Structure 1
Amino acid sequence: MARHGLAPAQAIVTGFGLALLVGTTLLWLPISSTQRPATFVEALFTATSALCVTGLTVVDTAVFWTPFGKLVILLLIQVGGLGIMLFAALVGLVLARKLSVRARINTVVEAKAFGVPDVRRLARNIFLTSIAIEAVVAALLFVRFVSGYGYDAGKALWHGVFHSVSSFNNAGFALYTDNMMGFVADPWVSLPMCAAIILGGVGFPVLRELAREWRRPLHWSMNTRIVLPATIVLLVLGSLAITVIEWENPGTLGDKDPATRVLAGFYHAVQTRTAGFNSLDIGAMHDETWLIMDILMFIGGGPAGTAGGIKITTFAVLLFILWTELRGGTAVNIFGKRLSRSVHREAISVVLMALAAVMGATVAILTMTDLDLGRVLFEAVSAFATVGLSTGITATLPPAAQLILVALMFLGRIGPLTLGPALALRERRVAYELPKERPVIG
């Protein structure tokens, strides 16, 4: 019997596709740009980058887009950060006060909630959490812009709201030509943005559980007990690595005072969670720093949040699988619980598909340009992990290479395991199993 309607994975991909079409069309309009209409590739690239909360740009956001264009970008960031299905659920609740069963399932799948909870409560909690964090950070930035930089109230409010939304949703879009380089020594701007990035990056399930059980860590789920410590470890190691390697680099930290160097090192470690703001010239960093940032960006943040990458939980599962194999164990155990074998396959599939996408895109762009491997790989990882950090080559790439980055951003936001099933016409069920045999490994 034929199935009616789209499967959840197909609905998510279709929803993002339709939102991308609308965003591209709006940015393509003459009212969205200042001096000349945006080309189709410029509009598509910017809409994809905003909707997929990446932050890569092919034009100067500060001067190319009109207030209308910047508002479209801001709305795409907010919708992309919340998630298409969750946004649709919120609209449905507001307009119709009810949701179909399929809409409920789609929302739960995109939010990666376990079981089928009250979708009204789920959507409301995620929305209110997002708005509350964005409002607090916007207020802090507003005060700083007024008191420290002499902005008038209207400009300070707009800049505060825009950068707050862009931070919490890990988007990396800024209203300045040099991104956030003018605030490299200002902790009153840098730290609130870092806090928003970290909170958005750990994921809504972790935030929701911490709000309920923050005093009882033994009651935390496996997801929270993996994401929190791993986030702290990656931030500490990333901060140390970037700060130490770049300490004497005259193009980045070398001409800064020690306090600014430490602040900037931490700031850029946070950006790899995957926000994409920069207060230093990424293109002037050492190759070693790029490679470390590649690794951090590829890992990304927590699941069901605004961050990208393969996710901390996926990386942790692979580490536990490796540790079990090295010890000669038969089952992967994490925090006193046995890990389902289906999770093994999912983690391996995500990593292999991510590596294939990044490596394939890197090779393709290398054949189109004369750029070196370090810069192209950094750009490809940044696009797939929806980070938005760049060594400065994005705008100089040929249109075909920019379209490859568009595909990477879309794939990175939707997720390989969501996009794969969505492209399948139907599920194939096999009613038999073949005999087992082991090849030689290693």
Structure 2
Amino acid sequence: MSPARGRRRPARPLRSPARVIASAFAAAVAVGTALLSLPVATAGPGRADLLTALFHATSAVCVTGLVTVDTGTYWSGFGQTVLLLLIQAGGLGIATLATLLALLVSRRLGLRARLVAQVETKALTAADLRPVVRRVVVFVLSAETVVAVVLALRFALGYGEAVPAAVWSGVFHAVSAFNNAGFGLRADSLVGYVDDPVVSLTICLAVVVGGLGFPVVFELAREWRTPRSWSVLTRITVVWSGTLLLFGTVVFLAVEARNPGTLGPLGGGTKVLAAFVAAVMPRTAGFNNLDIAAYQPETLLLTDALMFIGGGSAGTAGGIKVTTFGVLAYVLWAELRGDPDVEVGRRRVPAANQRQALAVALLGLGLVAVGTFVVEALTDLGFDQVLFEVVSAFATVGLSTGVTAGLPPAAQVVLVVLMFVGRIGPLTLATGLALRERARRRRLPEERIIVG
């Protein structure tokens, strides 16, 4: 054998599924930027500058919702349609859409395509992908249709909007809500509907269902009557999602009840509704029903924490994921009790999952810290505002204290990077950037150290 034949070929740049996913999202952002840069994409004369187009394309593909211009007035019908399609593509996942297209065209699916889709949909095995992808797409489109119909009827009958405008508004908000994007066609987002339970709760339901994660939703549909048979993933997601929603609602009520800029002027029942909606939206939805700039510092900090945690795995939500937070909480509880294993229900959480949760959380904290430092250095804003903006971008939430449009271009570029990394996932991105995995054939002797 010649030396040339004996050498290993260098790994292809897109051989790793994680790299393929990152490249697919980058391509979608590039296409969206090009389309939003066209003169036809803006409602007024001229065209959007490159940074504005890039910022909004990234925010849409990464289902974030941060904006530097008003979506309903700055973008034309064409531009809004582009944003809607980018949100849908980002929510489903570029890899999932590509897998569906391959199934429809050739009825065949290569192993590499299966592995790519497996990373994006978090399917357990490659063999499960065909039914998983079909169910995900059918479920998403069905749920969005139901939400769109309810909202369109409410906008038309309750607010007197013309039917075409009500239908478009219903569809846009349904897709944006279910995909946890937070884009709205009104300058004040949901502030005008703060006392409307139909609009508020419908959007909240779409946000929660879309953010739970498709494996959890499908399992709940089958096993909702028998909680004891739930998997560890479903148990952690449901328990901690409910706990965080309840905790957030109670704290919002306690802190903001007398704040004249938020809950103060509202009646008793409306206060509870508004507090609940305000607690749901940091699960990476991005709609705001209250003036965030008027929040108390304690509420801003609570919202930062809820945004950073995010929603469920394999859903449309961002953040480090509630499963990551839940696993770390169980790890801490086991350590405090001196238990050798981390147990959830009647199952033991593998050490690999514990390390993965720790890695995701630490990478997330590191990115937020670096992003906050850089943006703080580029602006004269207060720390609370900068931290809120950075966490919102990284966790792909879209909530803002109203300072996004006024940030200097360099700071907006930082948010673009954070949105992209936050959507791909810190661990997925790190895996995609790694040149190769090394299989260790030996283990060194163990030595305990003093911790703390």
Q: Give yes or no for TM over 0.5.
A: yes
1:280-306 residue CA offsets vs partner (Å, 9 max, x unmatched): 110111000000111111111100000
Partner of 2:19: 10
Deviates further, 156-165 or 237-246: 237-246
CA offset at residue 44 of structure 1?
Answer: 0.8
CA offset at residue 273 of structure 1?
Answer: 1.1
Within the candidate set 83, 95, 104, 1:94 is matched to 104
1:359-384 residue CA offsets vs partner (Å, 9 max, x unmatched): 11001111111111111101111111
Partner of 1:153: 163
1:335-372 residue CA offsets vs partner (Å, 9 max, x unmatched): 12121111111111101100000011001111111111
Whole-Å separation in 2 of the counterparts to 1:230 and 1:321: 14
Secondary structure (helix, strand or coil) at the match of 2:127 reads: coil
Within the candidate set 310, 322, 333, 1:312 is matched to 322
Whole-Å separation in 2 of the counterparts to 1:130 and 1:204: 9
Partner of 1:302: 312
1:28-427 pair list within 5 angstroms = 28-35=37-44, 36-427=46-437
User: Are 1:23 and 2:35 counterparts?
Assistant: no
Whole-Å separation in 2 of the counterparts to 1:372 and 1:405: 17
Secondary structure (helix, strand or coil) at the match of 1:309 reads: coil
CA offset at residue 329 of structure 1?
Answer: 1.7
CA offset at residue 77 of structure 1?
Answer: 0.5
Whole-Å separation in 1 of the counterparts to 2:381 and 2:221: 47
Query: Which residue identity is paired with 2:327?
Result: V
Query: Which residue identity is paired with 2:31?
Result: V
Deviates further, 323-332 or 90-99: 90-99
Contact persistence 2:114–2:129 (CA under 8 A): yes
CA offset at residue 220 of structure 1?
Answer: 1.4
CA offset at residue 425 of structure 1?
Answer: 2.1
CA offset at residue 432 of structure 1?
Answer: 2.6
CA offset at residue 161 of structure 1?
Answer: 0.4
Whole-Å separation in 2 of the counterparts to 1:278 and 1:294: 14
Whole-Å separation in 1 of the counterparts to 2:402 and 2:147: 28
Deviates further, 144-153 or 330-339: 330-339
> Aligned residues: percent identity?
52
Query: Which residue identity is paired with 1:116?
Result: A
CA offset at residue 258 of structure 1?
Answer: 1.8
RMSD: 1.2
Whole-Å separation in 2 of the counterparts to 1:230 and 1:194: 17
Contact persistence 2:123–2:129 (CA under 8 A): no
Whole-Å separation in 2 of the counterparts to 1:385 and 1:392: 17
Q: In 2 relative to 1, CA 343–118 (structure 1 residues): closer, same or farther, beyond 3 Å?
A: closer
Query: Which residue identity is paired with 1:276?
Result: G
Whole-Å separation in 1 of the counterparts to 2:399 and 2:50: 23
Secondary structure (helix, strand or coil) at the match of 2:192 reads: helix
Deviates further, 378-387 or 253-262: 253-262
Whole-Å separation in 2 of the counterparts to 1:16 and 1:105: 16
Query: Which residue identity is paired with 2:350?
Result: S
User: Are 1:429 and 2:435 counterparts?
Assistant: no
CA offset at residue 78 of structure 1?
Answer: 0.4
Contact persistence 2:261–2:291 (CA under 8 A): yes
CA offset at residue 75 of structure 1?
Answer: 0.3
Query: Which residue identity is paired with 1:134?
Result: E
Whole-Å separation in 2 of the counterparts to 1:115 and 1:256: 50
Q: In 2 relative to 1, CA 254–317 (structure 1 residues): closer, same or farther, beyond 3 Å?
A: same
Q: In 2 relative to 1, CA 321–47 (structure 1 residues): closer, same or farther, beyond 3 Å?
A: same
Secondary structure (helix, strand or coil) at the match of 1:264 reads: helix
Query: Which residue identity is paired with 2:258?
Result: E
CA offset at residue 436 of structure 1?
Answer: 2.5
CA offset at residue 428 of structure 1?
Answer: 2.8
CA offset at residue 433 of structure 1?
Answer: 2.5
CA offset at residue 96 of structure 1?
Answer: 2.1
